Amino acid sequence: MVLSSGVVDNTKKELNRGKTVAAFCMGRKETYEYLHDNPSIEFRPVSYTNNPLVIARHKNMTAINSALEIDLTGQATAESLGRIFYSGIGGQADFMRGAVLSQGGKTILALQSTAEDEEVSRIVPNLKEGAGVTLTRGDIHYVVTEYGIAYLHGKNIRERAMALIAIAHPKFRPWLIEEARNLNLIYKDQEFIPGEKGEYPEYLETYRTTKTGLRIFLRPVRMSDEPLLKDFFYSLTDECMHHRFISTRRDMPHERLQKFVIIDYTKEMVILAVIEQEGKEMIIGMGQYYIDENTHTAEVAFVVRDDYQGKGIGAELLSYLTYLAKKNGLHGFTAEVLIDNKPMLNLFERMGFVIERRAEAGVYELTMSFRE
């Protein structure tokens, strides 16, 4: 037993410290012998254990539950499939809402992306008619499937839909995109690349520690990253935007942003440098390359938030992009860099590439061959 082994000792609880509180128990003879006259175990009525206000008194309360279906707006049912009842609501809503009210609390809905041998998607455009809404849109912070994590808290409907589609089973994503368009949940011009070319390559996720000791998460861009990237681009100064895009343009509308997040992973790559801030992801750097199949090289570019420059993030991004490019059989990179962008030029030189430069109109056109 977990309790008898001492793994759970309840010493960090704000309420009923040192005690395990429960409403009922079923187990083997050994379980009942352990519970008998045990002062560290306390049984209370459900009106106490499932009271959201009691649950909320515990700091950092995390409630983990499952569901039968969740729709693209974040409503979930754990009690019925349409008008066919499967279960009662139990204590799911009590604990989820108690965790929402808890200081530092979070709620997690974990479910398989499909049912009936992958013939049915559990992520659906709408809950079936007659289904009971066990959890409302405000009850769920995180949704987890075998294809990733969708953070819904504080997101608008379009952002929720895209985040949930991104963690649905790949074979149902085209259908969900089309249904979401028809329901006006997402933009009518929302792009999508079906099949393997557009499937998120989770195996490329990795952690790196920069030269200054900063721990960063490097991962490919997801189709649901548009809001994160928008925040990232708007955090950059005019000078930083000019060095990256050789332009002073500041606006980043949906039409432009989705070019960064809807990509064919077999022809291009966008790698994000991410840290966690207050339980949410924040992009602090981005690197990308686009393959030229005729020359077996790729055009490369990257940018780092101004307040995180000088911490080695650019070096880690370029190093990882170089690794991926070599793995794909590429011979080198090309890039356009402003002549006055000394930090970028120095970084390319430190990477040990064989570099050829051609200057034109204040811009270096670089050809950088990989060494063996």
CA angle 149, 155, 159 (to 5 degrees): 70
CA atoms within 13 A on the CB side of 311: 17
CA angle 271, 110, 104 (to 5 degrees): 80
Q: How many helices (H) and strands (E) does the chain have?
A: 11, 21
Q: What is the mean pLDDT of each run of 10 residues along the chain (372 residues)?
A: 72 91 93 92 95 95 96 96 88 94 96 96 96 94 95 95 96 97 96 92 96 97 95 90 73 91 96 91 96 96 94 96 96 93 91 93 93 78
Q: Judge whether 96 and 63 are in contact, CB under 8 Å.
A: yes
One domain for residues 73 and 101: yes
One domain for residues 39 and 62: no
Where does a domain end: 160, 190, 220?
A: 190
Q: What long-range pairs does 294-299 form, CB within 8 A, spacing at least 24?
A: 295/331, 296/329, 296/330, 296/331, 297/330, 297/331, 297/332, 297/333, 297/334, 297/367, 298/268, 298/325, 298/330, 298/333, 298/334, 299/333, 299/334, 299/335
Rounded CA gap, 291 and 268, in Å?
Answer: 6
One domain for residues 136 and 74: yes
Quote the domain boundaries for residue 217. Answer: 198-369
Q: Distance of CA 66 to CAs 61, 124, 134, 194, 324, Å? A: 17, 15, 11, 28, 37
Where does a domain end: 161, 190, 219?
A: 190
Where does a domain end: 167, 190, 213?
A: 190
One domain for residues 73 and 29: no
The model's pTM: 0.86
Rounded CA gap, 217 and 283, in Å?
Answer: 9
Q: What's the pLDDT at 119? A: 96
One domain for residues 12 and 86: no
Instruction: Give how many domains the chain has, as a whole number.
Output: 3
26: Cβ contacts below 8 Å, ≥ 6 apart = none
Q: What's the pLDDT at 245? A: 76
Rounded CA gap, 328 and 337, in Å?
Answer: 24
CA 308 to chain centre: 21
One domain for residues 221 and 246: yes
Output the six-digit token pair for 26: 């079923």
Q: What's the pLDDT at 246? A: 72
One domain for residues 57 and 150: yes
One domain for residues 174 and 254: no
One domain for residues 214 and 358: yes
